[in-house]
Structure 1
Amino acid sequence: MKNPSPPKIWRGRSDCNKCGGECALFGDLPAHELDLIHTPFDDLQYPAGTSLFLQGDDVNGIYYIRSGMVKLNRINPDGTQRIVRVLRPGNTVGLEAMVHPQYEHDAIPLTPVVACRIPLDVMAKLDRESPTLHRRVLQQWHAALSDADHWFAELANGPARVRIARLLLKMRDPNHPENSVLFTLEDIGSMLGMTVETASRIINAFLREGKIKRLESHGRDYQIDVAALEAEAQSDAV
């Protein structure tokens, strides 16, 4: 299945030899293995709400997130969708491209995202000729599975207030940990197993209590009271 190309801005080419040390996949590769990369990668910018790729799209590469946050959605057979993971700078998206002909999720930017697209032929060559990278791909895959397990273990249990507090803490901006971003109410309800009305009521309660403050009047970005939310997130353990 081939879907239309997602809206994006091509920013040019990235030279992996210049920034490979910062990349979770290529960082600390021996020089002779890094030299195997002869093709500059596409440097792409995606507005919030667009897509890097959609579930069922033919694979065209692996994406390394340099800035921004991306949610991974899985579309169920009945047409409903579920957020399975949120990715941040340093994460790699679309590792299934190494073994599957289509992507297994929708990858939707929650914020403006800058990402490098690593061509499949480059990954295949490195996988064959770079033992270090081969191990690192397996480690990234394992980390992705573990992260998804931990994500749902924390968000699937406890009272609704506790789960939303944990979600706000998980969704903090890595560069500004006092700021957080939330999904739509529909996404929150689907992911946390609660109604839209319950999610809305709790968010409004946190606003009244001063635990969170909207950065824009109708936006989904919040300034958060980290200590208050951490106490809320642990309240079911008492």
Structure 2
Amino acid sequence: MVKSVTLRAAWSGEADCRNCSLRTSVLFAGLQEQAFERIHEPIDQFTLKPGNVLYHAGDRAEFLFTVRSGSLKLVQYLPDGSQRIVRIVRTTDVLGLEALLDERYQHEAVALHATEVCRFPARLVRDLGQDSPALHRELMARWQRALTEADAWLTELSTGSARQRVARLLLRLVRDRESSECYLFGREDMGAMLGVTTETASRTIAEFKRQSLLVETAPNLFLLDVPNLTRIAED
């Protein structure tokens, strides 16, 4: 698995889960102090550059990952060689849950932006989950959240006009955020997420800019007009 990313080169030290700034919202949020005492294996914390592959589809799934900052795309490749992005994972999301079932990774996970990730062995989570009802509940909640997200991508982002799809994607990027500001990614990726051509994605984004539905505040950083994008998404 590590062969796809030079993790050791990006190594930034062993994570301090007790004092993690995201501890209230990440996988180990419900662990008590005695449970932390059982964590003897290192939980690796490292940074991926845009385009780095965290794992490939078909790789043996030995680890779970928590996103501390940034975002990754989960990609499936079609028989004709084209790609379809099936989900975006962002801060506090957990990916690699298939490792809990001793399966292989189902997607290719690729960093969209500079992304900080914590990596922990699946066997550690399995062992803790057996003795910690809180962790077991959190695992089930994360799994349900992933299924809900996958359903939403199928129903919201693969139906309707291109304008509706782009509007829905933009709204999802700022959902549950305090600010309506977000980074956009490449139009090719956007097309692969929405099932439209790169040209259509580019044209729609350009149209939204002209209509001030997107206002660029820094390179590739935009403020969204949430009320009017919502109106487009729901038309």
Q: Which TM-score bucket, shorter chain as reference?
A: 0.7 to 0.9
1:11 aligns with 2:16: no
Question: 1:52-110, CA deviations, whole angstroms, 9 ceiling, x for partnerless residues?
Answer: 21212222311111111111112233322211111111111101111134211111111
1:177 to partner: Cα distance: 2.6
Once structures 1 and 2 are overlaid, which stretch shifts more, 35-44 or 223-232? 223-232
AA in 1 matched with 2:222: Y
Structure 2: any 5+ residue segments left out of the alignment?
Answer: none
Partner of 2:166: 164
Percent of aligned pairs sharing the same letter? 38
1:178 to partner: Cα distance: 2.7
Question: Tell me, what secondary structure is at the counterpart of 2:188?
Answer: helix
Question: Tell me, what secondary structure is at the counterpart of 2:3?
Answer: coil
Distance 1:226 1:73, change over 3 A: same
* 8 A contact 2:30–2:134 mirrored in 1: no
Partner of 1:62: 64
Query: Normalized against structure 1, the TM-score is what?
Result: 0.86
1:43 paired residue among 36, 39, 45? 45
Distance 1:60 1:139, change over 3 A: same
Measure the CA separation in 2 of the matches of 1:125 and 1:189.
40
Question: Tell me, what secondary structure is at the counterpart of 1:52?
Answer: strand
Structure 1: any 5+ residue segments left out of the alignment?
Answer: none
Measure the CA separation in 1 of the matches of 2:60 and 2:103.
6
* 8 A contact 2:57–2:105 mirrored in 1: yes
RMSD: 2.4
AA in 1 matched with 2:17: C
Measure the CA separation in 2 of the matches of 1:203 and 1:26.
38
2:35 paired residue among 33, 56, 60? 33
AA in 1 matched with 2:4: S
Partner of 2:110: 108
Query: Normalized against structure 2, the TM-score is what?
Result: 0.87
* 8 A contact 1:48–1:111 mirrored in 2: yes
1:15 to partner: Cα distance: 2.2
